[in-house]
Amino acid sequence: MPQLKDAAYWRAQSTDLLVEARAFIAGAYVGASDGETFAVHSPIDGRELAQVALCRGPEVDRAVAAARGAFQGGGWAELMPRQRKAALLRWAALMRAHAEELALLETLDTGKPIGDTTAVDIPSAIYCLEWFAELVDKVAGEVPACDPQFLGTVTREPVGVVAAIVPWNYPLLMAAWKFAPALAAGNSVILKPSEKSPLSALRIAGLAREAGIPEGVFNVVPGDGETGRLLSLHPHIDCLAFTGSGAVGRQISRNAADSNLKRVWLELGGKSANIVMADCPDLRRAAQAAAAAVFSNMGQVCSAGSRLLVQRSIAEAFIAELLEAARAYLPGDPLDPASVTGSLIDDAQYQRVRHYIELGKREARLLLGGEGCAVVPGGHYLQPTIFATDASSRIAREEVFGPVLSVIEFDELDDAIALANASEYGLAAAFWSADLGAIRRASRGLRAGTVWVNCYDELLDMNFPFGGFKESGNGRDNSVHALDKYSELKSTIIRC
């Protein structure tokens, strides 16, 4: 009889779990040259998970040299696309075989529920790798029309050495969004995971080796902001892809300009608006989606629907539905499969969100929550929190990155679109209405990279590009368009 995978099962698994804490460079796990490490603690209860190698200049230089050597050697970049596809699919299959281990690492490292990591995070990362593996042998060049005396071709070539600096909120998934298209395109990759959540990235490096990814093609250098700075300044990195804060994104762009003008792609913050019109076809479903949009993953989502704009005539009825829906997001033990939400990533993030909640109590009207929760000693748990406010408050303008929702009332459609666009961010938005004309006006008028209609954060499929307008960044992850970030186009013109 199969063993029930309840909280006791996952706690037992976490006790026996082996954690790889060394960097992965040139096909081998290695410690830092000076022996330096940094501690990684679990947000669940604060316990130390590992002492991880702290990569600095020597390790970054070694990783870049390995990646450059692998790229110039052609053992990956010059493979037939179907051969790269086969290797990436072998890697994905190994990740699938180790999915439970990876999910547990992700839960221990981030404090998110095991139900999420087993059902969403790890399967989505594997799907991303499989999707780009399957794409790579189906992307063709061009033969443009030209003078009959000439034959011209446009071909796609890998850019070279790609550095990927990824965040802690979806560690393996955000990494896959970068390394999967970069590797599929024929590049060598240096992955720098967040110092708050490096463990799953280090584990999959060994699986890459087992899958036959050549030495130097995939490297992982754990470290802190200084490690990222060294990568952004390195003259032999051709491209850097980053997901994180606007402040760090700006500094990376400056560093790239000050070094070799490496190509930089940024996916930054968001303050996404979720607009509910009076003719919304299903208020209860919209309220449930609005709660999920901001309280899932404890609100630590760049596209979280943290601004809820509700037409005034239905505001009272909608808020009643919303308060009921929000109560389903009280945090629980992340190792319990029944838990819907878990812990914030660390004490610094907990204190940041608490600071915004205190601001909200002064600026706005508290409707729900606003306090911490005693779930697991040593963890960082917060109640789902809702404020009624206007658009001028700081909680309605600034990215909180926590389970805090600002509800703002409006009168007319044009007011809602103007409020939604009155932000430096433009990552995502949603619009709820039964009026096709209003839907068309809103979807065209909202300055956001993704617009959901009568849903929120659904069908975030690999076929759709993901990224933002304005200060939410540049470039797009996912879809065939992601290959553009990691490729150069070459025109070849032949006189016949």
> In the beta sheet, which residues pair with residue 240?
163, 264
Residue 494 lies in a domain: no
Strand pairing category for 150-158 and 487-495: antiparallel
| Gap between the Cα atoms of 481 and 460, Å rounded | 15
**238 and 159 in a common domain:** yes
Examine the fold and report which residue of 268, 297, 313 is the final residue of a domain before the chain moves on: 268
Cα–Cα distance measured from residue 166 to residue 380, given in angstroms and rounded to the nearest whole number: 22
The neighbour count for residue 8, using CB atoms within 10 Å, is 12
Tell whether 115 is covered by a domain: yes
Q: Does 255 lie in the same domain as 162?
A: yes
Alpha-carbon distance 292 to 290, whole Å? 5
Using one digit for the tens of pLDDT, what is the confidence trace for 430-447?
A: 999 999 999 999 999 999
- d(C-alpha 465, C-alpha 492), whole Å: 29
* One domain, residues 334 and 369: yes
Q: For residue 457, tell me if it sits in a domain.
A: yes
Q: Is the residue at 244 inside a domain? A: yes
Chain-centre distance of CA 288, in angstroms?
23
Q: For residue 328, what are its two tokens?
A: 């389903």
Kindly report the CATH number assigned to the domain that includes residue 60: 3.40.605.10
The span from the CA of 160 to the CA of 235, in Å, is: 12
Pair 400, 426: CB distance under 8 Å: no
Residues known to be catalytic: 267, 302
Phi first, then psi, for residue 150 (nearest 5°) are: -125, 155
State residue 493's pLDDT score. 96
With CA atoms as reference, report the closest residue to 71 among 177, 181, 153, 185.
Answer: 185
pTM of the model: 0.96
Among residues 305, 326, 318, the alpha carbon closest in space to that of 369 is found at 326
DSSP-derived secondary structure letter, 382 = B
- Residue 381 inside a domain? The answer is yes
The 10s digit of each residue's pLDDT in 294-306 is: 999 999 999 999 9
For every residue of 291-337, DSSP letters joined together read: HHHHHGGGG--TT---EEEEEGGGHHHHHHHHHHHHGGG----TTST
Instruction: Give residue 41's domain range.
Output: 7-268
Which residues lie closer than 8 Å to 390 by C-beta, 6 or more apart?
364, 396, 408
Residue 226, SS3 per DSSP: helix
DSSP 8-state code for residue 433 = -
Q: Are residues 213 and 332 in the same domain?
A: no
Cα 359 to Cα 87, 170, 323, 356, 423, distances in angstroms:
51, 27, 21, 5, 19
Query: What single DSSP character describes residue 178?
Result: H
Q: Quick one: 149 and 233 in the same domain?
A: yes
Indicate whether 158 belongs to any domain: yes
- Mean of per-residue pLDDT scores for the chain: 97
Residue 493 falls inside a structural domain = no
Please indicate, yes or no, if residue 205 is contained in any of the structural domains: yes
- Whether 221 and 281 map to the same domain: the answer is no
Helix-strand-coil split of the chain, %, nearest 5:
40, 20, 40
- 104 with 236, same domain: the answer is yes
Altogether, the residues listed in the chain come to a count of 496
Residue with tokens 């304005």: 470
| pLDDT reading at 58 higher than 60 | yes
Instruction: Give residue-wise pLDDT tens across range 118-148.
Output: 999 999 999 999 999 999 999 999 999 999 9
- Give Cα separations from 487 to 50, 179, 180, 235 (angstroms): 37, 13, 13, 18
The total domain count for the chain is 2
> Which residues neighbour 138 within 8 Å (Cβ) at sequence distance 6 or greater?
none
pLDDT (0 to 100) of residue 1: 40
* 225 and 307 share one domain: no
Residues 195 and 59 in one domain: yes
The residue from 241, 268, 295 where one domain ends is 268
Looking up tokens 């679990």 gives 42
Consecutive H or E run containing 242: strand 239-243
Say which residues have a Cβ less than 8 Å from residue 286's Cβ, sequence separation at least 6.
276, 280, 318, 321, 432, 454
Encode pLDDT of 431-488 as tens digits: 999 999 999 999 999 999 999 999 999 876 899 999 999 999 999 999 999 999 999 9
**How confident is the model over 336-395, as pLDDT tens digits?**
999 999 999 999 999 999 999 999 999 999 999 999 999 999 999 999 999 999 999 999
- 106, 197: one domain: yes
Cα gap 93→211, rounded to integer Å: 9
Lookup: tokens for 199: 């463990």
Same domain, 428 and 295: yes
CATH of the domain at 417: 3.40.309.10
Task: State the Cα–Cα distance between residues 425 and 448, nearest whole angstrom.
Answer: 8
355-381 exposure pattern, b = at least 16 Cβ within 10 A, e = fewer: ebbebbeebbeebebbebbebbeebbb
d(CA 27, CA 208): 9
One domain, residues 304 and 254: no
Final residue in a domain of this structure, among 204, 235, 268: 268
